[in-house]
């Protein structure tokens, strides 16, 4: 009772403070209202709809759609000039430069060897990261879906890194993997010599995979968990009554019923993995050498950071990546639509 | 005690332990350490002095060698516990080290030099939190600037996002007009156009608008989030149209309906979007990195990444600044985690 009265009194002070803060806002809204009434009279409800939609669409138009279409024009031009009007038309030269390879399996034979190195790295990264991410998230979701003590606490534990910024994630792990870091400290306890993990090509690559899984698994675990909780409980009760073994319950009930959800998650992970940049850029900076250089970083460096900037080439590379993403997104939309239809039928 | 243990390990329904239970608890405990451990380790490290950071093996808590001022010496000397030749131990201050021999003095008798093999002395350690790691970046560096830039970008972008997205969601959920489906599809399509695909032309547009090296150049391209429009539209669809019709009878203008009826009723969805937007904008990295090239305009994320990429990384400052950067997100996590998790589970969007 005391709890409740304290809460209401808190609410009241909160409200009165809010009221004071709202006074100028209210005034502003009143001032806006007069001309808008005129608009409403003049153009009707349809006019108001346009008015409400306009700011959002303007920003979309200028900062998303316009660049999207200019991008094609950019990829057809050469030189280092920034504005499209100053650039020279080169046709498909940038694309043919990107694809100028005598052997696609070996990036060194390509005109743009860093691009193909980045593509190769990204390919391996996607394969490894998506597989492991799905496995880890699925196991965690299955465990969190059990009858656990303090389940919301455990769910929060795995979700925590999702909110951290990529820069913080990169720095946390850079600090752990360095020579005097926690990992070497732990291994030292088992008698291993300290190792500079991020200076080693293979370990650095493994670190990018591991760190990105660490940072994002909580997000996918949540989505898979929501899917698991939608599976009717009576199926499990029936299986338990028949004395079905745990592995069999998983393969015969859980997995088939989870599949539509899981497919959507797989595509989501794929889309994100293809674009990997932030954490890796802070963690390894693409190095050592080019061993953790991924496509987004290639685009960023070609377009902005390199000594000899080449926006046209960067645009061409970004369009190629965009194509992959569009295909993946369409697959995802198709999958989630079919999932929703199945759900509706049930 | 044994009953407490029995309580902890008792399974619901009085069943015994199954192998899946063991896997579950091993996974959870390991998960606890793997998920929280790195951030805790970083926070603990951020209180260490540069000397303590360079030590291997490292200690978990910040220790420094105790120092003592001795008469006749300008600088404070390190204190050691040394084993003397006669087997007794004494607390000595080190004056200098030559090879494997350390020249030491009794702090109270500075004239007499005692020679001790370095293997026979251990430093006197005491716990000390290097709070200057936190205070110095605030006074000597542009850290306050970065913090302010980040706060400005986050707050402004979130406010604009809420207004602009809710207006669009209102139009898309409560009006019938030509091109509504087209507008919806257009917004849906923008989900397919991530920053990494359009950054080159976007940069030229932002420059053409004079927003290069301007915080508004960071804010504006991010505010019209398709996710936000979707969350809000779904929520507004559940508000009955009769409410709007009743208000129209009372001569309320459409703007008033949006402002006085729709917005207050959409508060829960607005809150979810606000939380998401704060986290997104606070964490944004690639776009600010492209748009901001002047030091005084860096956001925290950009500043941190630039400083940590330098040749001589001043880890003691970087670590402390990373902890400060983490604080808002940890607060969001502690108090608002529930909203976010239900938001993600409900919409599948981040």
A223/B194 CB distance under 8 A: no
pLDDT band at B5 (very low <50, low <70, confident <90, very high): low
Mean pLDDT of all residues in chain B? 82
Pair (B103, B145) in one structural domain: no
**Interacting residues of B104 by C-beta distance below 8 A, sequence separation 6+:** B80, B82, B92, B93, B94, B95, B113, B114, B115, B116, B121
Taking residues B151-166, what's their average pLDDT? 94
Whether chain B has a CB inside 8 Å of the CB on A314: the answer is: yes
Residue pair A147/B264 in contact (Cβ under 8 Å)? The answer is no
pLDDT of residue A98: 79
CA atoms lying within 13 Å on the CB side of residue B285 = 24
B105, part of any domain = yes
A146, B24 contact by CB (below 8 A): yes
Q: Which among B301, B286, B200, B309 has a CA at the least distance from the CA of A304?
A: B200
Which of A189, A209, A215, A114 shows the shortest CA–CA distance to A197? A209
pLDDT at B80: 79
Q: What share of chain B is helix, strand, coil (3-state, %, to 5)?
A: 65, 10, 25
Residue A3 token pair: 């709890």
Mark whether A113 and A49 lie in a shared domain: no
Neighboring chain A residues of B48 at a CB cutoff of 8 Å = none
B263 inside domain: yes
| Overall number of domains in chain A | 2
Q: Identify the residue with better confidence: A60 or B19.
A: A60
Give the Cα separation of A119 and A239 in Å (integer): 46
CA distance B316 to B137: 10
CB contact under 8 A, B322 and A171: yes
- Domain of A220 in residue numbering reads as 93-345
Query: Which residue of A33, A70, A172 is in closest CB contact with B255?
Result: A33
Look at B255 and A29 and tell me if their CB atoms are within 8 Å: yes
CATH code, B266: 1.10.3720.10
Q: List the structure tokens of B124.
A: 């006197």
Do both B93 and B222 map to the same domain? no
- Which of B38, B183, B350 is nearest residue A172 as measured by Cβ atoms? B38
Chain A residues touching residue B309 (CB < 8 angstroms): 282, 285
Whether residues A236 and A339 share a domain: the answer is yes
**What CATH number is given to the structural domain containing B112?**
2.30.30
Structure token digits, residue B226: 């398709």
By Cβ distance, the residue of B256, B304, B337 closest to A156 is B337
Are A175 and B285 in contact (CB < 8 Å)? no
pLDDT of A1 reads 40
d(CA B210, CA B204): 10
Any residues with CB less than 8 A from the CB of B164 and at least 6 apart, and which?
A: A55, A56, A59, B223, B224
Instruction: Report how far residue A198's alpha carbon sits from residue B309's, in angstroms, rounded to the nearest whole number.
Output: 13
Tell whether B86 and B209 lie within a shared domain.
Answer: no
Please calculate the CA angle B319-B322-B324 and round it to the nearest 5 degrees. Answer: 115
Based on the fold, state whether residues A203 and A235 are members of the same structural domain.
yes
Residues of B in contact with A264 (CB under 8 A): 348
The answer to whether the beta carbons of residues B285 and A167 sit under 8 Å apart is: yes
Candidate from A64-68, B16-20, B173-177, B189-193 with smallest mean pLDDT: B16-20
User: What pLDDT does residue B168 have?
Assistant: 93
* Interface probe with A: pick from B39, B60, B167, B200, most Cβ of A within 10 Å: B200
Range of the domain at B217: 134-347
Here the tokens at position B294 are: 């002047």
Q: Do B196 and A321 touch (CB under 8 A)?
A: yes
Contacts of residue B99, defined as CB under 8 A and 6 or more positions apart, other chains included, come to none
The SS3 of residue B106 is strand
Residue-level pLDDT at B317: 85
Q: What is the pLDDT of residue A4?
A: 45
Per-residue confidence (pLDDT) for residue A346, from 0 to 100 = 41
Residues of B in contact with A146 (CB under 8 A): 20, 24
Residue whose token pair is 């080159």:
B200
Q: Which of residues 131-190 of A touch B (CB under 8 A)?
A: 139-140, 143, 146-148, 152, 154-168, 170-176, 179-182, 184-185, 188
Would you state the torsion angle of the CA atoms of residues B298, B302, B308, B312, taken in this order, to the nearest 10 degrees? Answer: -30
Residues A139 and A220 sit within 8 Å (Cβ to Cβ): no
Q: How many CA atoms lie within 13 A of B257 on its CB side?
A: 28
Say if A299 is an interface residue toward chain B (CB within 8 Å).
Answer: yes
Q: Between β-strands B77-83 and B121-123, what pairing exists: parallel, antiparallel or unpaired? A: antiparallel
- Identify all chain B residues contacting A296, using CB atoms and an 8 Å cutoff: 196, 286
pLDDT tens-digit readout, A58-95 = 999 899 889 988 888 888 888 777 777 778 778 777 88
- Is A69 found in the same domain as A103? no
pLDDT value, residue B193 = 81
Q: Are residues A59 and A125 in the same domain?
A: no
**Model ipTM over 0.90:** no
Residues A66 and A122 in one domain: no
Domain limit, last residue, from B127, B142, B170: B127
Question: Are residues A116 and A61 located together in one domain of the fold?
Answer: no
pLDDT tens for each residue of B251-296: 888 888 998 889 999 988 898 888 889 888 998 999 999 899 888 8
The answer to whether residues B140 and B85 belong to one domain is no
Is the CB of A219 less than 8 angstroms away from the CB of B344?
A: yes
Indicate the pLDDT class of residue B1, thresholds 50, 70 and 90.
low
Give 10-residue mean pLDDT values along chain A (346 residues).
46 61 79 83 84 91 90 84 78 81 77 86 94 94 86 86 90 86 79 81 92 93 87 86 84 87 86 90 87 92 83 89 87 76 52
Verify that A165 and A31 share a domain, yes or no: no
Written as six digits, the tokens of B79 are 């204190």
- Percentage of chain B beyond pLDDT 70 is 92
Q: What does the pLDDT read at residue B347?
A: 57
Asked if pLDDT for residue B210 goes beyond 90, the answer is no
The CATH number linked to A143 is: 1.10.3720.10
Of B127, B147, B175, the one marking the end of a domain is: B127
Kindly list the residues from chain B whose CB atom is less than 8 angstroms away from the CB atom of residue A270. Answer: none
For helices B19-45 and A113-144, the axis angle rounded to 10 degrees is 120
Q: How far apart are CA A151 and CA A146, in angstroms?
A: 9
Q: Tokens at residue A99, please?
A: 């694809």
DSSP result, B152-198: HHHHHHHHHHHHHHHHHHHHHHH---TTHHHHHHHHHHHTT--HHHH
Q: Which of A22, A45, A49 to mutate to test the interface with B (most CBs of B within 10 A)?
A: A49
Q: How confident is the model at residue B156 (pLDDT cuts 50, 70, 90)?
A: very high
Say if the Cβ atoms of B197 and A29 lie within 8 Å. Answer: no
């Amino acid at each position: 009772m005391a709890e409740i009265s304290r809460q209401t009194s808190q609410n009241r002070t909160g409200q009165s403070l809010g009221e004071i803060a709202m006074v100028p806002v209210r005034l502003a809204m009143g001032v806006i209202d007069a001309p808008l009434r005129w608009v409403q009279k003049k153009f009707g409800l349809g006019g108001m709809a346009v008015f409400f939609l306009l700011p959002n669409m303007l920003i979309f138009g200028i900062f998303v759609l316009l660049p999207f279409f200019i991008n094609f024009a950019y990829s057809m031009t050469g030189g280092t000039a920034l504005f499209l009007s100053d650039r020279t038309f080169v046709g498909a030269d940038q694309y043919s430069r990107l694809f100028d390879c005598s052997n696609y399996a070996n990036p060194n034979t390509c005109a743009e060897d860093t691009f193909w190195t980045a593509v190769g790295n990204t390919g391996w990264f996607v394969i490894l990261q998506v597989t492991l991410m799905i496995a880890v998230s699925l196991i965690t979701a299955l465990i969190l879906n059990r009858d656990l003590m303090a389940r919301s606490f455990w769910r929060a534990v795995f979700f925590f890194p999702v909110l951290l910024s990529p820069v913080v994630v990169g720095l946390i792990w850079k600090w752990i993997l360095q020579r005097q870091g926690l990992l070497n400290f732990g291994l030292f306890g088992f008698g291993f010599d300290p190792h500079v993990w991020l200076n080693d090509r293979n370990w650095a690559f493994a670190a990018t995979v591991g760190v990105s899984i660490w940072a994002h698994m909580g997000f996918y675990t949540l989505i898979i968990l929501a899917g698991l909780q939608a599976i009717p409980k009576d199926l499990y009760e029936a299986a338990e009554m028949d004395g079905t073994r745990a592995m069999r319950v998983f393969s015969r009930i859980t997995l088939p019923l989870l599949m539509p959800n899981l497919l959507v998650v797989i595509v989501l992970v794929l889309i994100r993995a293809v674009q990997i940049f932030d954490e890796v850029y802070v963690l390894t900076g693409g190095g050592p050498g080019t061993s953790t250089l991924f496509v987004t970083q290639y685009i960023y460096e070609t377009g902005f950071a390199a000594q000899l900037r080449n926006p046209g080439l960067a645009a061409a590379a970004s369009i190629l990546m965009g194509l992959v993403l569009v295909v993946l997104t369409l697959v995802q939309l198709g999958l989630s639509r079919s999932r929703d239809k199945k759900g509706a039928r049930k | 005690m044994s009953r407490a243990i029995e309580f902890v390990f008792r399974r619901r329904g009085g069943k015994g332990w199954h192998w899946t239970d063991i896997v579950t608890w091993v996974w959870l405990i390991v998960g606890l350490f793997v998920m929280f451990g790195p951030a805790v380790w970083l926070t603990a490290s951020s209180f260490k002095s540069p000397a303590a950071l360079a030590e291997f093996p490292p200690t978990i808590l910040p220790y420094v060698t105790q120092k003592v001022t001795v008469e006749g010496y300008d600088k404070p000397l390190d204190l050691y516990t040394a084993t003397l030749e006669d087997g007794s131990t004494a607390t000595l201050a080190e004056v200098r080290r030559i090879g494997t021999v350390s020249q030491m003095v009794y702090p109270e008798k500075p004239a007499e030099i005692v020679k001790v093999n370095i293997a026979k002395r251990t430093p006197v350690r005491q716990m000390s939190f290097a709070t200057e790691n936190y205070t110095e970046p605030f006074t000597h560096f542009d850290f306050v600037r970065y913090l302010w830039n980040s706060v400005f970008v986050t707050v402004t972008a979130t406010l604009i996002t809420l207004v602009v997205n809710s207006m669009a969601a209102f139009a898309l959920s409560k009006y019938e007009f030509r091109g509504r489906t087209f507008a919806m599809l257009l917004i849906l399509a923008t989900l397919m156009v991530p920053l990494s695909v359009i950054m080159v032309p976007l940069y030229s547009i932002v420059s053409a608008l004079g927003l290069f090296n301007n915080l508004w150049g960071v804010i504006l391209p991010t505010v019209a989030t398709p996710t936000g429009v979707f969350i809000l539209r779904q929520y507004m669809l559940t508000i009955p149209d009769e409410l709007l019709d009743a208000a129209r009878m009372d001569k309320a203008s459409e703007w008033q309906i949006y402002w006085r009826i729709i917005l207050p009723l959409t508060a829960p969805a607005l809150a979810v979007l606000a939380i998401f937007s704060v986290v997104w904008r606070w964490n944004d990295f690639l776009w600010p990195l492209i748009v901001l090239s002047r030091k005084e305009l860096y956001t925290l994320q950009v500043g941190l990444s630039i400083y940590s990429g330098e040749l001589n990384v001043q880890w003691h400052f970087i670590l402390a600044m990373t902890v400060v950067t983490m604080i808002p997100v940890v607060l969001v996590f502690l108090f608002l985690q529930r909203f976010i998790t239900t938001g993600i589970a409900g919409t599948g969007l981040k």
